[in-house]
Structure 1
């Protein structure tokens, strides 16, 4: 007890907050959604409608492909993948990714162009750190995935926002990109298919993005973790198709297309036939950063060649059929909710951005207030748009079992009616 008293009275020097870490973590989507879950009324007998985050794996209709599960189990049981991997990743996994991406490119990439990561979030961390030279800045989309801002802020990389245009199918405001860029701009980020907007960029629009990047002398970071998650009129086109116009870093992973976000496996690939990224030592820097950061699990890497080779085409088709149905349900249900407007029908990813009209509501102050009260009163979790750079908008996830999605959106409708302003009668 005596020693304990002395310890309690000592002047300990640790415990000061890191302001950058606090700011970054408090604005992460995970933190925002967690705070909403904390407001739920646990006496409500209804199931929670989780329309706030993109993890479809909890639902049987989006279960992982049996071939992927079998490949993972075989890799773990083989005993061949219990050792550390090299910083760039398991060679067979890198080769499999290179072959997988090359099928849709007008040139071939090799294992030397690929670095494995612990999911696409890790790829974001790596790229923001690699680009964080003194004075550099990177251009990020608004609305966008806030992990980019968080990771850039933590490593001292300035970021600037260009707009995605809701009245033009959420295309990039390329004039805005040019206006933002200066001599210290090193890269721009696109997400295609898009989280949070649900759009899919056309071949022509991607070509214009590449031309803009070439004109500015910057690289394009193309976040394609939702690659081929397209169910509208536009097919998915990889940005790497235009790697000959401007250098492209493609980031992807198995979490969304294979419905296994918890397996945490992604990649960074130089889709750059002119070798500019290698000449500028970008890939060398990526591998250097990977050497001092977390490693993706070796047996998941070991399973990757079989996962890619053996997953039946029907698995992807069935998943997109369910996603298409869910997107249609979401779009049609939103039409019946007076205070919410959807500017563009979702045609890709797992999300849609909708506009909240506060003038129709009584006692709702902003999008965060809306989502907080909705969670507490209706057990429906929706992500407020302010966490994505769009105040008084909402991001709705429709990668949910269709009956629960319908029920959840009916609850949103009931909530809006209950909080709607009383219309004056003449």
Structure 2
């Protein structure tokens, strides 16, 4: 073919048929990964100190948070068996679903069945699926989300044409949900409200009584509850973990969970959606049918990880969980005590669960700091410490700090944070 012919067949650059979805391109601003990537991009490459990662909730890189040997053995056995190399069913392997149902039923007043469990590629895909099936027709529904909260819910809602409306969590009441605001926000198009327990990003744990009020509010409004319980049982304060599914007979509950946090294996990508619905509301409204249909056109978690789930759940020793919680209790204590002595920031309550705490910035005490994003970028550049700006969880001029790292690294990071705040403090000018 001559060059002349090629030039005739090749369209001009602006003649190709593809045009990007501008809304999709904008959703990366709601991604923790994207925000942290922007902060890390400005770090000083000449700083030879180790980077202290206080911005994300993945402690798996630290030896003290290594997963249970029984979990590793379960995956190894599943691989060596040669029985888990095929495509799984859309909803997930039955032995895995049965095992998860039995495991979660230990905390409930009723028994779950395997048919109540749908396996997903981590909790992120569970959020994607739930937001997709609840959206219905474009513009038909809205969803109520907590603020501060995990903005992945907003991103998935927006992608599916569903409006996100925010109710506040109240810092002076241990981050309880403002249920009066929930009632004021809801209308005839509201389909569900989201509650994260134990809390990301606040480190709170909800009491039985508060969860009961949430269920009664949802029942009154005729909406579902999406209970994000990916940090289930990672509690180390006075309040014990109570699953929202306990109140499934009051209001239908979609429970989202995974092995990522409790077993410290986020890269294994095994999560679930569970229908806590003794009254059968989800079946009558065809929500169950919608979830199954979505799974038929979606990707699956790795089959060998599904195959390992029964042994992983049944054989992991309590000592492993106790050790993880003890380390989190220790690092939460370190974080709480060290933060008290840092100028320009305030921590409203001691974390009791999950891996995070929210800290309020006092910009009047911090010179040359415009807002929370500026604070995090300058901290990363000057001290090689990465924390998450509150804007990434819907709470401007706050920051989220994770304490789920090795204790010595945490103390180092908090010491650098203190030096940074002191250097930028009004009193030093």
Do these two structures clear the TM 0.5 threshold for a shared fold by scoring above it?
Answer: yes
Structure 2 equivalent of residue 334 of structure 1: 339
- After the TM superposition, which residues 40-59 of structure 1 pair with which residues of structure 2 at under 5 Å, given as runs? 40-59=43-62
Structure 1 equivalent of residue 293 of structure 2: 288
Q: Are residues 1:267 and 2:291 paired?
A: no
Alpha-carbon RMSD: 1.3
**The one of 66, 69, 74 aligned to 1:71:** 74
Offset at residue 183 of structure 1 (A) = 0.6
Structure 2 CA distance, aligned partners of 1:205 and 1:187? 17
- After the TM superposition, which residues 31-180 of structure 1 pair with which residues of structure 2 at under 5 Å, given as runs? 31-134=34-137, 135-180=140-185
Q: Is the 8 A contact 2:197 2:232 kept in 1?
A: yes
Structure 2 CA distance, aligned partners of 1:29 and 1:139? 20
Deviations 1:183-234 (A, max 9, x none): 1111000000000000000000000000000000111000000000100000
Structure 2 CA distance, aligned partners of 1:55 and 1:414? 25
Deviations 1:40-70 (A, max 9, x none): 1121111000000000100000001000001
Deviations 1:329-378 (A, max 9, x none): 11111101111100010000000011000000111000000000000110
Structure 1 equivalent of residue 373 of structure 2: 368
- Residue 221 of structure 1 aligns to a residue whose secondary structure is strand
Structure 2 equivalent of residue 404 of structure 1: 409
Structure 2 CA distance, aligned partners of 1:370 and 1:17? 33
Deviations 1:112-150 (A, max 9, x none): 111000000000000000001232111000000011000
- Residue 345 of structure 1 aligns to a residue whose secondary structure is coil
Structure 2 CA distance, aligned partners of 1:259 and 1:151? 25
Note closer, same or farther for the CA distance 1:44–1:280 as it changes in structure 2 (3 Å cut). Answer: same
Note closer, same or farther for the CA distance 1:76–1:12 as it changes in structure 2 (3 Å cut). Answer: farther
Q: Are residues 1:181 and 2:186 paired?
A: yes
- Residue 405 of structure 1 aligns to a residue whose secondary structure is helix
Offset at residue 27 of structure 1 (A) = 2.1
Structure 1 CA distance, aligned partners of 2:277 and 2:246? 9
Offset at residue 267 of structure 1 (A) = 0.3
Unaligned runs of 5+ in 1: none
Note closer, same or farther for the CA distance 1:8–1:372 as it changes in structure 2 (3 Å cut). Answer: farther
Offset at residue 86 of structure 1 (A) = 1.1
Offset at residue 294 of structure 1 (A) = 1.4
- Residue 187 of structure 1 aligns to a residue whose secondary structure is strand
Offset at residue 23 of structure 1 (A) = 1.6
Structure 1 equivalent of residue 317 of structure 2: 312
Offset at residue 26 of structure 1 (A) = 2.5
- After the TM superposition, which residues 185-204 of structure 1 pair with which residues of structure 2 at under 5 Å, given as runs? 185-204=190-209
Structure 2 CA distance, aligned partners of 1:227 and 1:129? 24
Aligned length: 424
- Which runs of structure 1 show a deviation greater than 2 angstroms over 4 or more consecutive aligned residues? 1-12, 14-17
* Range with bigger deviation, 131-140 or 305-314: 131-140
Deviations 1:284-319 (A, max 9, x none): 111111111111111100000000001000000000
Structure 1 equivalent of residue 218 of structure 2: 213
Structure 1 equivalent of residue 349 of structure 2: 344
Structure 1 CA distance, aligned partners of 2:57 and 2:308? 24
TM-score between both structures, scaled by the size of structure 2: 0.97
Structure 2 equivalent of residue 300 of structure 1: 305
Structure 2 CA distance, aligned partners of 1:323 and 1:10? 54
Offset at residue 16 of structure 1 (A) = 2.5
- Residue 238 of structure 2 aligns to a residue whose secondary structure is coil
Structure 1 equivalent of residue 398 of structure 2: 393
Structure 2 CA distance, aligned partners of 1:256 and 1:8? 50
Offset at residue 10 of structure 1 (A) = 5.7
- Residue 426 of structure 2 aligns to a residue whose secondary structure is coil
Structure 1 CA distance, aligned partners of 2:20 and 2:347? 40
Structure 1 CA distance, aligned partners of 2:53 and 2:38? 13
* Range with bigger deviation, 131-140 or 169-178: 131-140
- Residue 195 of structure 2 aligns to a residue whose secondary structure is strand
- Residue 186 of structure 1 aligns to a residue whose secondary structure is strand
Structure 1 CA distance, aligned partners of 2:274 and 2:124? 15
